[in-house]
Structure 1
Amino acid sequence: MGAFVENLGVCTITRAEIMAAIRGLQLAWRNGYRKVLLQMDSTTAINILSASNHMEQRYCILVQQFQELLNKSWEVKISHIYREGNKAADFLANKGHTSSIGYHDFEVSDSGLAFWILYDILGIFQTRLI
């Protein structure tokens, strides 16, 4: 089983979240998945991607790319998940942040990611301080 990270360089968190959604959907489509649950921890990114009129001009090209992916012949559901409920994604984000600029493939078993995937599957509880 493989995984990937992509270091985008300097950008906003929202841009990185939207880019991750696009890359994830592209990967799912290429691998033949036709029913996808896209979970994101950024309500800001979800709102931008879900808006019918795009007030955020700086993201309009990314939103257009995202919409083109959604218009393919498949079922994609988008939902919010708290960061604490998706430690595997948090692990990947940190790995991407410390990688060189660009796209990087790696094996899940070699990366330590397998531990965090199991952690998420088991639903290990973590207190959230607000």
Structure 2
Amino acid sequence: MDKDRLTHMSSQPIRTEVDISWKPPPPKWVPLNTDGFVHTDTNHAAACGLLRDHTGCCLAAVASNLGMCTITRAELRGVVEGLQLAWNLEHHRIRVDLDSQCAVQLLSSPDASDHQHATIIHRFSELLRLDWEVTIHHTYREGNNCADFLATAGILCP
């Protein structure tokens, strides 16, 4: 093989396939997958939270029809409603997985008091102050399929 061809081949990016799917939590943690959904034709929104055990079996779920709102608000509502469900069921170590990078950034920011979603972000902060451990993680949509399905179905809730 000549030197030019070798140089050309080495500059090609190496592609790696990655399996994106739901991941079980660490021991003694309960995963909470959340999602928001906005129907493109009507702008009606829904949110959901799905609690599972370490094998992926559903422990509990909540879905809400939110009327009309933004996708970011729907995503944030999914987190808050899912955390409230987890607290009510006395789960004290929660790993939240959601597929909205924007919502993860908002929930991780130290001060969002002047943000348009400040009220719901404040409610999230109040929930974090309870006596429990909560971590927030971004996941890809493929790893959040069940929550995605529930959020879409949430449009049908009264």
Query: Which TM-score applies when normalising by structure 1?
Result: 0.72
| 1:94 to partner: Cα distance | 1.1
Aligned pairs (5 A) from 1:79-90: 79-90=137-148
Match of 2:93 in 1: 35
SS in structure 2 at match of 1:29 = helix
Q: What is the aligned-residue identity percentage?
A: 42
Amino acid aligned to 1:23: E
Structure 2: unaligned runs, 5 residues or longer: 1-58
Amino acid aligned to 1:35: R
Check the 8 A contact 1:37/1:77 in 2, yes or no: yes
1:55-114 CA deviation, whole Å, 9 max, x = no partner?
6521111111000000111000110111111110011011012x144xxxxxxxxxxxxx
4+ residue stretches of structure 1 with deviation over 4 A? none
1:73 corresponds to which of 119, 125, 131: 131
Q: Distance in 1 between matches of 2:66 and 2:107?
A: 19
Q: Distance in 1 between matches of 2:98 and 2:157?
A: 24
Q: Greater RCO between the two (CA within 8 Å, min separation 6)?
A: 1
Match of 2:149 in 1: 91
Provide the alpha-carbon RMSD of the alignment: 1.4
Q: Distance in 1 between matches of 2:65 and 2:80?
A: 14
Check the 8 A contact 1:48/1:56 in 2, yes or no: no
**Normalized per residue, which structure has more helix?**
1
Q: Distance in 2 between matches of 1:16 and 1:58?
A: 13
SS in structure 2 at match of 1:58 = coil
Structure 1: unaligned runs, 5 residues or longer: 102-130
Q: Which has the larger radius of gyration?
A: 2
Asked whether 1:9 is paired with 2:40, we answer no
**Normalized per residue, which structure has more strand?**
2
Amino acid aligned to 1:36: I
Amino acid aligned to 1:8: L
Bigger mean CA deviation after superposition, 50-59 or 5-14: 50-59
Match of 1:58 in 2: 116
Aligned residues: 100
SS in structure 2 at match of 1:8 = strand
